[in-house]
Amino acid sequence: MTNFFLSVFGFISHAQPASSLAPEVKFAADFINGISLVAFILVEGALIYFVFKYRRKKGEANIQTPYITHDTKLEVVWTVLPTIILAVIFYFGVASFVKLRAMPKDAEIIQLTARQWSWEVKYPYCVKNAKTNAERCIKLTSKNVNPTEESIKAHKLQDELMKDQVQFVIAKGHKYVMQMTSTDVIHSFTVPSFYVKQDVVPGLTSRLWFEPTVVGEFVITCNEYCGNKHSGMLGKFKVVEPAEYEQWKTASLAALQKELDQDASGGPVDETALIAKGKELYGAKGCLACHSLNGTPGAGPTYKGLYGHQVELTTGAKVVADDAYLAESMLKPAVKVVKGYAAMPNMGVEEADVKPLIAFIKSLK
């Protein structure tokens, strides 16, 4: 019966505890919420009881309210009992907090970048090209799952779009430290099932850690309003067994090595695949926040029809939006600013991202 009422009023967290510290944090939260519910029922129950018990009945003569200055026993009870309860709450809260803030030294560090409106993770696994010495690391970026006109027509709403979400693969029983920063506004990285939450602030590096204990898929949310596509800023952790994790890592590094060697060789390029990659980066790097695809100007120039056309800069000079100009604008956005627009912040575009993004912009005639 107690669980029924707690569930009805939303006082118990329903997220499945899926990390080593999650049961402790859940217990502390449920304990506090349970006490709050009991206190609410007692206070409101007494209030309602007194309203009916001591109300003035119709036709009843005026009775002077007794003048009670104090009651020592009651005063001791309502001072000592709440103090004990608060001390217990403090203990459970601090015990969990200290463990959550002590970053384990044997943990694997994953770099996370938040931007409007996606999560980008960079694993500490990299490959190099022997000739050029170019390096590339395993990097994944979530998709924003706010429904678009295109997805609505295809009857794909947020739940359906989440099925195709990029999966950040991690291993069960491994400890991970998320080292996080933001490129634009304040976000809040939250994994409900891991019972972890941490604000991600521009210009600062914040950290949290967790150790997954359950195999499965777990949603990442942003719990700080960060703009009009905030609700679609979801991600997904896929927790697998350690052996499967090693297989995934080996396969990802092999694919990355092949891609890096192909780029270095200057061999034939699959233009369709390149455009598709550019479209993916358009969302992942936050370009969609300022640059439309339909010709409508936003906080930045539209991408439609941009390639090959002349643009005027704030200096008065005019340049053609060719490969060189677009590449420079992506990597050094403050060097050449289009007239009528503010300088674009650094969106974390890397050398490897430039070619696909240019191919995508070039396709938008």
Q: Mean pLDDT, the chain, as a whole number?
A: 85
Q: What does 139-174 look like in DSSP terms, one character per residue? A: EEEPPP----HHHHHTT--HHHHHHTPPPEEEETT-
- Mean pLDDT is lowest, of 5-9, 153-157, 159-163, 164-168, for 5-9
The runs of H, that is alpha helices, within 60-204 are 72-101, 149-153, 158-163
Looking at this protein, which amino acid is placed at residue 358?
A: I
CATH domain 108-264 topology: Immunoglobulin-like (2.60.40)
> What b-and-e string marks burial along 192-230, b requiring 16 or more CB atoms within 10 Å of the CB?
bbbbbbbbbbeeeebebbbbbbeeeebebbbebebeebb
Q: Do the strands 108-115 and 318-320 form a parallel or antiparallel pair, or are they unpaired?
A: unpaired
CA angle 262, 264, 257 (to 5 degrees): 55
Residue written as token pair 């770099």: 111
Residues paired with residue 115 on neighbouring β-strands, in sequence order: 118
Residue 109 banded pLDDT, cuts 50, 70, 90: very high
Number of continuous H segments (helices) and E segments (strands) in the chain: 9, 12
Looking at this protein, which amino acid is placed at residue 55?
A: R
pLDDT for the residue numbered 263: 67
pLDDT one-digit tens code per residue, 176-189: 999 999 988 999 99
What token pair was written down for 169?
């693969």
171 — phi, psi (to 5°)? -105, 140
Tell whether the model's pLDDT for residue 218 goes beyond 90.
yes
* Section 168-172 average pLDDT: 96
- Dihedral sign from CA coordinates of 250, 233, 103, 15: negative
Work out the percent of the chain whose per-residue pLDDT is above 90.
37
pLDDT for the residue numbered 15: 67
3-state secondary structure of 359: helix
> Could you say which architecture CATH assigns to the domain 269-363?
Orthogonal Bundle (1.10)
pLDDT for the residue numbered 242: 95
Tell whether the model's pLDDT for residue 209 goes beyond 90.
yes
> What b-and-e string marks burial along 41-60, b requiring 16 or more CB atoms within 10 Å of the CB?
eeeeeeeeeeeeeeeeeeee
pLDDT for the residue numbered 356: 83
Looking at this protein, which amino acid is placed at residue 192?
A: P
Q: Do the strands 108-115 and 176-182 form a parallel or antiparallel pair, or are they unpaired?
A: parallel
Better-scored residue on pLDDT, 89 or 9: 89
Q: Do the strands 196-200 and 235-240 form a parallel or antiparallel pair, or are they unpaired?
A: unpaired
Better-scored residue on pLDDT, 209 or 318: 209
> Could you say which architecture CATH assigns to the domain 2-101?
Orthogonal Bundle (1.10)
Enumerate the domain spans of the chain.
Answer: 2-101, 108-264, 269-363
Residue 102 banded pLDDT, cuts 50, 70, 90: very high
Residue 204 banded pLDDT, cuts 50, 70, 90: very high
Work out the percent of the chain whose per-residue pLDDT is above 70.
93
Better-scored residue on pLDDT, 260 or 109: 109
Tell whether the model's pLDDT for residue 266 goes beyond 80.
no
Residues paired with residue 171 on neighbouring β-strands, in sequence order: 240
pLDDT for the residue numbered 247: 95
What token pair was written down for 222?
């942003």
Better-scored residue on pLDDT, 68 or 46: 46
Residue 305 banded pLDDT, cuts 50, 70, 90: confident
The secondary element (H helix, E strand) that includes residue 110 is strand 108-115
pLDDT one-digit tens code per residue, 3-23: 433 343 344 456 678 999 999
Q: What does 239-306 look like in DSSP terms, one character per residue? A: EE-HHHHHHHHHHHHHHHHHHHHHHHHT----HHHHHHHHHHHHHHTTGGGT--SSS---SS--STTT
Q: Compute the distance between CA of residue 248 and CA of residue 102 in angstroms, rounded to an integer.
A: 29
3-state secondary structure of 312: strand
pLDDT one-digit tens code per residue, 248-260: 999 999 988 887 7
For residue 364, give every residue at least 6 positions away whose Cβ sits within 8 Å of its Cβ, in sequence order, or none. Answer: 293, 303, 304, 305, 306, 307
pLDDT for the residue numbered 268: 58
pLDDT for the residue numbered 4: 39
pLDDT for the residue numbered 312: 82
Residue 291 banded pLDDT, cuts 50, 70, 90: confident
pLDDT one-digit tens code per residue, 34-59: 999 999 999 999 999 999 888 877 87
* Section 200-208 average pLDDT: 93
* Section 154-175 average pLDDT: 89
- Dihedral sign from CA coordinates of 102, 108, 111, 112: negative
